[in-house]
Amino acid sequence: MSLSKVFRLLAVAGVLSALASAPARAVPDPMMAAQVFAEAKAICARDKGPFWGEPLCGPMLLVDFRDRGVAANQADPSGTLKQQGPIWVGVYPEPNIVSATPTEWEGVRWTQILWPMLPGDDQRHVMLAHEMFHRIQPGLHLTRPEAGNEHLDTLEGRYLLQLEWRALAAALTAKTSSARRSAIIDALLFRHERYRLFPNAEAGEGDLEVNEGVPEYTGVRLGLATPRERVRYALYDLGAYSDAPTLVRSFAYAIGPAYGLLLDKTDPSWRWKLATGPAPDKLLSLALKTPPPAFETIRAREAVYDDGALRAHEVQRDHDKQAALAALQARLVDGPVLVLPLHHATYQFRPQDLQPLDQSGTVFPSMTLESDWGVLHVDHGGALLDQKMTVARVSAVGFDPATLKGDGWTLKLKPGWTIQPGARSGDLVAKQTATDAK
């Protein structure tokens, strides 16, 4: 699984809590599943043109995260699923990955949706269109390699991003074209100040905005029926992530609909320029012929969108974050750790919670991780994955070899794998026995 697909796995906030609280079933409820497929079909009916030059609708799976129960909107080629009314149901077979990501199964490319789904109609419809777009996204040449965007976890990076969000919200709600233009110029000023402070920011942000911001825009544009609903949801996205533990990935979901809807007003042909052209922010700047950023005015423009409360909040957050990072460093880098090599790995986590840890990698506060050695469940305390996603580390403090449990995590080893002493004193490592390794 590519890194971009990994991070899409649980992109909608609240999915984990919904999964935990929903009643268990062998398969998704057939009537509810049929309703979801009908809603997807109605969304596709809005796909006039079609919207991206390729039909949005196609094969779809609703897969229960807990027990692999599955409902499909069409038969699978091998007949694994059995027809029940207008849908096909059964168990999604191992070793296929259960994830909210496009899935190749039996020679067919499916949109896979995690079940149960969020209850709110707007959220559900946006998510459906978002995930259906991911299925066709590679064919549109709208996938990009991704960088970490760690600058969005710094004080200035976060602050300037949220100022940009506030200016975009003002542009979306502006009563006149001149007011909209003025707010867009402010948004672009805050963005370019971020680019000036962080030289790698432009490429990293632009790539993720194509990978995830454009699908979220598609979700809003086609998942909702009216301009008022779309603007309302774009404003919701711009505010929903402010309290996220980190913005390094969630920013793209927040910002994509705003730029897309503003581009719809200023350059309706912008979607056809995206595959070979600049990122959405540049397309918007070109469409409006905005002047170069006036960096000398930035303090005055900041005051329009922040009375000081946002800056104070971010300063306190940064202070608290430094203390938290020091604790993570002590737990997952300096202290004894269990080292797990990652080959053919799959992941389940909340991207809103990820925490970069300097050059050591990224901390996943909770996750389920599966690789050749078995399955790791992390409930708290975090797992550290290196930058190339080749090794995972969890704290070895309190490790019980009899139960394969540690502080905040549980390990299920496959036959032929053992836990052995690691390179440093107190470290542990998962290793395959010599016989099974051959």
Over residues 404-414, the pLDDT tens digits come to 999 999 999 99
Q: Which of 90, 111, 140 is the last residue of a domain?
A: 140
Is 264 or 243 the better-scoring residue by pLDDT?
Answer: 264
* Section 222-245 average pLDDT: 93
- Say if residue 343 is in the same domain as residue 295: no
Quick: pLDDT tens for 263-309: 999 999 999 999 988 899 999 999 999 999 999 999 999 999 999 99
Residue 50 structural domain: 3-140
* Section 369-393 average pLDDT: 94
Residues in CB range of 45: below 8 A, 6 or more apart: none
- Say if residue 126 is in the same domain as residue 8: yes
Q: Which two tokens stand for residue 286?
A: 């070109």
- Say if residue 134 is in the same domain as residue 157: no
* Section 334-363 average pLDDT: 87
pLDDT exceeds cutoff 80 at 310: yes
- The Cα–Cα gap between 328 and 414 comes to 28
Q: What is the pLDDT of residue 437?
A: 55
The end-to-end CA distance of the chain, in Å, is 25
- Say if residue 91 is in the same domain as residue 166: no
- Say if residue 154 is in the same domain as residue 302: yes
Cβ–Cβ < 8 Å for 232, 192: no
- The Cα–Cα gap between 257 and 278 comes to 17
The answer to whether residue 181 is domain-embedded is yes
| Total domains present in the chain | 3
- Say if residue 386 is in the same domain as residue 297: no
The answer to whether residue 96 is domain-embedded is yes
- Say if residue 22 is in the same domain as residue 120: yes
Is 299 or 358 the better-scoring residue by pLDDT?
Answer: 299
- Say if residue 157 is in the same domain as residue 287: yes
Please report, for the chain, how many H helices and E strands are present, in that order. Answer: 14, 18
